[in-house]
Amino acid sequence: MLTAFARAFKTPDLRKKLLFTLGIIVVYRIGTHIPIPGVDYTAVQACIDQANATTGLFGLVNMFSGGALLQITIFALGIMPYITASIILQLLTVVIPRLEALKKEGQAGTAKITQYTRYLTVALAILQGTGLVATARSGALFSQCSVGSQIVPDRSIFTTVVMVITMTAGTAVVMWLGELITDRGIGNGMSILMFISIAATFPAALWAIKEQGSLAGGWIEFGIVVAVGLVVVGLVVFVEQAQRRIPVQYAKRMIGRRSYGGTSTYIPLKVNQAGIIPVIFASSLLYIPALIAQFAAGTSGWKTWIEKNLAQTDAPAHIILYFFLIIFFAFFYVAISFNPEEVADNMKKYGGFIPGIRAGRPTAEYLSYVLNRITWPGSLYLGLIALVPTMALAPLGANQNFPFGGTSILIIVGVGLETVKQIESQLQQRNYEGFLR
């Protein structure tokens, strides 16, 4: 692999792409440490240094921003508004005929949907930025911090508008940086930035586990966490690469004196066909009632119940509901992202068929049957991976800082594998041995 790295950097155009990608990453990481106007940076750092400041409701969003959310920097919102906008547009494509027609128009339609995604990203950034500023001003962002309500000393409307505009502009810049990586660098830019944001939190999380440990100065807990992390990574890599290949045969056609078709191929159906989307949906849905309860006044019964059962990640009600929501959203997302009838119609149009299955409706029914069969283990796998920090490491007290579970490891492994494949394909085009031997 090291030799392949050396060969990649010896290739002028590939070296240029890799260096450009690294340069954009450096710019992105610098932006995550520049505070926005109107924030007391000293008070923010004092709150972050407290033990419970980096855990709680905002942990997931803070992870996606590379730790920039709790520091309230210009890139505090990170890539989350774009991810949310992309998911919303993807779901609306199934519901709105106009978007579905644009999707079928090819490159021109895709460009139009991308433009809509950008507009929606800016709108969501304004909404989320306003919510973050209001949360910071009320002191709810650092509820365990004694100076949490003092991080925004100037509460005038002008200062609030400047803070929201700054974070919205930061989100637009992050979106632009991601598109630059996609066009001129290696891999999908948005995925790369998400990868970097999550990986940036690993060293601090691992060191926090070591500092909080009591066995041999925390090194035993540190070693156990690393070992569990390696096992989780191996399992995720194995399942993410697993797929069910459905054979497809194309009949021969004679056009003039030339013969077309007669080839054999397959339809790859991944075990985890839904990817990371079900975990994000489930986390977001559980995040909403906990956020409402945090802003609600008084000590009503429903607020107490939510704070005790849904806001606590190690509560039995939260674990059970989280697990079943992941399974539900896995089936839901697979149902809207893969249309067996459309695939069967396209196969029939080009003379393709599955051996032993009649073309048309029987093919669609067979694809639906296979898809439901493999979605069950895929959804159970997502649920188990998402609950690894809570279930396996709670006795060590390391579940809050464990970086190798749930959403983070799924994104890290998925983006890593995809980027490696792209580098390998470009090396193979130049007659090299490839990135992975």
Which residues make up the CATH 1.10.3370.10 domain(s) of the chain?
A: 21-185, 202-437
Is the distance from CB of 190 to CB of 198 less than 8 angstroms? no
Contact 243, 269 (CB under 8 A): yes
Please give the Cα distance from 77 to 137 (Å, whole number): 17
How far apart CA 337 and CA 30 sit, in angstroms, is 36
Give the global pTM. 0.78
**pLDDT recorded at residue 108:** 83
Predicted pLDDT of residue 166: 92
- pLDDT in the model for residue 52: 47
Q: How far apart are CA 167 and CA 38, in angstroms?
A: 12
Map residue 73 onto helix, strand or coil. Answer: strand
Do 149 and 377 touch, CB atoms closer than 8 A? no
- Separation of alpha carbons 29 and 71, rounded Å: 13
What pLDDT does residue 213 have? 67
CA separation for the pair 47, 64 (Å, rounded): 20
Q: Which residues of the chain have pLDDT under 70?
A: 1-6, 49-64, 66-67, 143-144, 146-149, 213-217, 253-262, 291, 294-299, 311, 313-314, 389-406, 430-437
Q: What single DSSP character describes residue 328?
A: H
Nearest to 170 by CA among 132, 204, 137, 211: 132
Q: What is the CATH architecture of 21-185?
A: Orthogonal Bundle (1.10)
Q: Strand, helix or coil at 353?
A: strand
The domain defined by 202-437 folds into Preprotein translocase SecY subunit (1.10.3370)
DSSP 218-287: GHHHHHHHHHHHHHHHHHHHHHHH-EEEEEEEE--EEETTEEE---EEEEEEETTTTTTHHHHHHHHHHH
Neighbour count for residue 271 (Cβ, 10 Å): 18
Which phi and psi angles does 246 have, rounded to 5°?
-95, 115
Residue 54: its pLDDT value, please?
A: 43
Q: Closest by alpha carbon to 412, among 178, 181, 191?
A: 191
* C-alpha angle 325-228-424 in degrees, rounded to nearest 5: 85
In angstroms, the CA 220 to CA 240 distance is 30
Q: Cα angle at 19 between 18 and 21, to 5 degrees? A: 65
Structure tokens at 143: 């509820």
pLDDT of residue 426: 76
How many CA within 13 A on the CB side of residue 194?
27
Collapsing DSSP to helix, strand or coil, 63 comes out as helix
